[in-house]
């Protein structure tokens, strides 16, 4: 159930999200609670937008283990995109030059008591580009802009042979935006179907940093009021997906 936080806990939380442009508060719904979530929140597949997500990493997830996530997303009825994300970062260590670059974002991800600050740079893609890379008709590097490559070089000082980078996926996803009278923030539900047959459901809200303390309490109370554990499963969808995809790749 949702619990009230102390003033000390509030201040500690505010310190941890300081510098973020946005705060995303989320849970991964445990398998045993998924059906309850669909029924309680009236989530319907026909209300959801389809997305196809590819990740790029080594079979050993070298980049992910170093705090780097590289992905491309084909999004129904919206611009396709590629994203380079670095996590964790400290806002004070992010060069000021990135703040004015289109597609740059500093976001605090809140999962239970865990708060992780990430920096990301997104670039729009042509409708056919991602499928061409997936089919081998286009080089992976073509999906990422010069700025994104510079961004990666700024934050990742490791050494990875580009020949070892492989395509992981696709992950088929459904994303629905849900509005409820009792909920002050728009709720997002994402359902990910992994190639190995497993799946996961994530519920989240986004808010400005100055509203995050209250938004977190509202979100947790909303979930608890619908019989859902506000703590959920602690692993994020990206970690669960990449681990599953890498394991499948190793198994052939």
89 in Cβ contact with 98 (< 8 Å): no
pLDDT digits (tens, 9 = 90+) for 110-126: 998 899 999 999 999 99
Separation of alpha carbons 200 and 157, rounded Å: 32
Please check whether residue 2 lies inside any domain of the structure.
Answer: no
Please check whether residue 153 lies inside any domain of the structure.
Answer: yes
The C-alpha angle 59, 64, 70, rounded to 5 degrees, equals 90
Q: Look at residue 235 and tell me whether its pLDDT is greater than 80.
A: no
**Which pLDDT belongs to residue 62?**
94
Tally of structural domains, the chain? 1
Separation of alpha carbons 239 and 142, rounded Å: 25
Q: Look at residue 64 and tell me whether its pLDDT is greater than 50.
A: yes
pLDDT digits (tens, 9 = 90+) for 156-207: 988 777 788 999 999 999 999 988 887 889 999 999 998 888 889 999 999 9
Task: Pick the closest to residue 158 from 53, 61, 54 (CA basis).
Answer: 61
Least confident of 41-45, 93-97, 179-183, 226-230: 41-45
Structure tokens that stand for 60 in this block = 């050993």
Q: How confident is the model at residue 234 (pLDDT cuts 50, 70, 90)?
A: low
Please check whether residue 91 lies inside any domain of the structure.
Answer: yes
16 in Cβ contact with 108 (< 8 Å): yes
Please check whether residue 211 lies inside any domain of the structure.
Answer: yes
Q: Look at residue 52 and tell me whether its pLDDT is greater than 90.
A: yes
Please check whether residue 1 lies inside any domain of the structure.
Answer: no
Please check whether residue 72 lies inside any domain of the structure.
Answer: yes
**Which pLDDT belongs to residue 3?**
57
Q: Which residue, chain included where needed, has tokens 């080594």?
A: 58
**Which pLDDT belongs to residue 166?**
94
Separation of alpha carbons 31 and 201, rounded Å: 8
Q: How far apart are the first and last CA of the chain?
A: 42
SS3 72: strand
Element (H, E) at 178: strand 166-178
Q: How confident is the model at residue 85 (pLDDT cuts 50, 70, 90)?
A: very high
Q: Which residue, chain included where needed, has tokens 């909920």?
A: 183
**Which pLDDT belongs to residue 51?**
95
CA distances from 147 to 158, 186, 213 (A): 18, 32, 34
Separation of alpha carbons 109 and 236, rounded Å: 10
pLDDT digits (tens, 9 = 90+) for 19-29: 999 999 999 99
Separation of alpha carbons 173 and 76, rounded Å: 10
Element (H, E) at 237: helix 237-251
Please check whether residue 158 lies inside any domain of the structure.
Answer: yes
Residue 235's CATH number: 2.40.320.10
Structure tokens that stand for 118 in this block = 């990430």
Q: Which domain holds residue 103?
A: 7-251
pLDDT digits (tens, 9 = 90+) for 32-48: 888 888 888 877 666 78
**Which pLDDT belongs to residue 1?**
47
pLDDT digits (tens, 9 = 90+) for 132-151: 999 999 999 999 999 999 99
């Amino acid at each position: 159930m949702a619990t009230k936080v102390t003033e000390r806990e509030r201040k500690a939380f505010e310190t941890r999200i300081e510098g973020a442009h946005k705060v995303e508060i989320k849970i991964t719904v445990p398998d045993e609670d998924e059906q309850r979530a669909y029924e309680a929140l009236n989530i319907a597949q026909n209300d959801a937008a389809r997305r196809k997500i590819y990740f790029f990493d080594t079979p050993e997830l070298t980049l992910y283990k170093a705090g780097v996530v590289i992905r491309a997303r084909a999004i129904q009825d919206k611009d396709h995109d590629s994203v380079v994300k670095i996590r964790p970062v400290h806002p004070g260590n992010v060069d000021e030059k990135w703040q004015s670059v289109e597609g740059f974002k500093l976001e605090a991800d809140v999962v239970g008591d865990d708060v992780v600050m990430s920096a990301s740079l997104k670039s729009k893609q042509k409708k056919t580009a991602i499928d061409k890379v997936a089919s081998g008709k286009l080089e992976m590097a073509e999906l990422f802009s010069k700025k994104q490559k510079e961004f990666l070089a700024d934050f990742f000082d490791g050494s990875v042979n580009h020949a070892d980078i492989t395509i992981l996926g696709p992950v088929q996803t459904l994303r629905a935006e849900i509005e409820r009278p009792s909920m002050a923030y728009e709720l997002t539900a994402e359902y990910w179907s992994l190639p190995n047959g497993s799946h996961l459901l994530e519920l989240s809200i986004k808010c400005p940093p100055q509203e995050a303390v209250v938004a977190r309490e509202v979100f947790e109370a909303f979930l608890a009021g619908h019989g859902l554990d506000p703590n959920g499963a602690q692993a994020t969808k990206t970690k669960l997906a990449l681990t599953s995809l890498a394991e499948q790749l190793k198994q052939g």
